[in-house]
Amino acid sequence: MNRTTKIIALILGAMVLTLAAFLGGFAVSQIMFIGENSRMAQNAQLTREVSELFNLMQREALDPPSETTATVGALNGLLRSNDDHYARFLTEEELERYTESMQGAFGGIGVLLGESEGTTFVLQVYEDTPAERAGIQEGDYFYGVDGETRDDWLISDLSSRVRGEVGTDVEITMVRPWDEDTMPASMEHHLGEPFTVTVTRDIIQTPVTEVEMFDDKVGYVRLFEFNLRATDELREDIEGLIEDGAEALILDLRNNPGGDLNQAIGVASLFIEEGPIVQIDSAAMSQPEILNVRGSSLSQQLPLVVLTNGNSASASEIVAAAIQDHERGIVVGTDTFGKASVQSQIPFRRGAAFMTTAQYLTAFGRVIDDVGNEPDIEVEMSIADAAEIETDKQLQRAIEEANDKQR
């Protein structure tokens, strides 16, 4: 091939490559255009069908919804259409109440809530509160509020209805689990008949922690939930126990439903001096994001025992699993709840959408979603046993382990 032929061949090759690139780009743009058109068509169909259903309800329903309630209902339905059980839409008013609850002060009845099998129950009744005075007990399931009954109350829905202006009444219908020793043998379920109480709302300052000293050298702190004060108050309590002579620590995360992810990292960082606390995995990431120790650890790193049970969820599981992964302490109790998902608060309209945007893995990458975190030492116990320190088998075992591990 002579020089002229080579030049022509190169020019033709370049033209072919240019044409191929143009056609490839055109094809990609066409695919993107078709895909975008398809999504727009689907959105238009969704909007049309929702509008048609709303108009049908206005004509035919015995009690037609207003535009506001229909919009909120539609948003909640859409958020949970992918079986995201933790998703919900909060109106501006509901969001304000949620923010108040995270800060720890609000007008309510005085209970800590948990979710199980798609509905809400009482994890803890705080002392000297309207709920305690009305006879509500730990383990009671919510069935109705002000005459509206449901089998599947979400915590967010229930909280927005139970909270309200101080001094006003709220009528609550509960279902109490039967004690296994007294439940009629003919019954196939463990729940009794619904009962209704009237509770007068009051200012509720939820406790973040509860502190004890056992055997004059085992410091005990129970953390109720991971609200915005959790890390600071826990640090203050533990430093106080150390000053009082504690030589080992027990962190009680039983019945702790979780809360703020940053607080989980902060609490774990009190005990772990360096390294990962949790890994976050989402569709937007090619690899999990590793979140490391944040802030300073406690002044003294005493032997540590962590208590968990089946109601220890979310942030509680992050902390317990991190302490386990780093071999910083031992976990006593039962498997945790297994809620290893991350809900993000995303501003939307006049409110916020909460949806599951990621799942978390433990500090060293263990999967615990829908499985839970296993304790190092398993101790089964009934709710009745937890009522007294002397009969609390899990706590007694934790005290025993803490005494054994003192320096």
Contact status, residue 259 vs residue 312, Cβ threshold 8 Å = no
Helix axes 315-325, 261-271, angle to 10 degrees: 30
Question: What type of residue sits at position 364?
Answer: F
Task: Please tell me the predicted confidence (pLDDT) of residue 254.
Answer: 95
Helix (H) or strand (E) holding 49: helix 3-60
> Alpha carbon 295 to chain centroid distance?
23
Cα–Cα distance measured from residue 88 to residue 80, given in angstroms and rounded to the nearest whole number? 7
Residues in contact with 323: Cβ distance below 8 Å, sequence separation at least 6, in sequence order? 268, 271, 272, 304, 306, 329, 331
> Alpha carbon 32 to chain centroid distance?
37
Cα–Cα distance measured from residue 313 to residue 268, given in angstroms and rounded to the nearest whole number? 15
Contact status, residue 249 vs residue 234, Cβ threshold 8 Å = no
Residues in contact with 181: Cβ distance below 8 Å, sequence separation at least 6, in sequence order? none
Cα–Cα distance measured from residue 317 to residue 258, given in angstroms and rounded to the nearest whole number? 8
Q: What is the pLDDT along the chain (407 residues), one digit of tens a residue?
A: 554 444 334 333 444 444 444 444 544 444 444 555 666 666 777 778 888 888 888 888 888 888 888 888 888 888 878 877 777 788 888 787 777 666 655 688 999 888 777 789 998 898 899 999 999 998 899 999 999 998 888 887 788 789 888 899 999 999 998 655 544 444 444 567 899 999 999 988 878 999 999 999 999 999 999 999 999 999 999 999 999 999 999 999 999 989 899 999 999 999 999 999 999 998 788 899 999 999 889 989 999 999 999 989 999 999 999 999 999 999 999 999 998 887 778 888 888 888 888 899 999 999 999 899 999 999 999 877 887 899 999 999 999 999 998 75
Contact status, residue 394 vs residue 305, Cβ threshold 8 Å = no
Q: Is the dihedral of CA 36, 37, 42, 48 positive or negative?
A: positive
Cα–Cα distance measured from residue 389 to residue 81, given in angstroms and rounded to the nearest whole number? 44
Cα–Cα distance measured from residue 360 to residue 339, given in angstroms and rounded to the nearest whole number? 9
Measuring CA to CA, which residue among 154, 146, 159, 144 is closest to residue 111? 159
Cα–Cα distance measured from residue 271 to residue 265, given in angstroms and rounded to the nearest whole number? 10
Task: Please tell me the predicted confidence (pLDDT) of residue 307.
Answer: 98
Helix (H) or strand (E) holding 120: strand 119-125
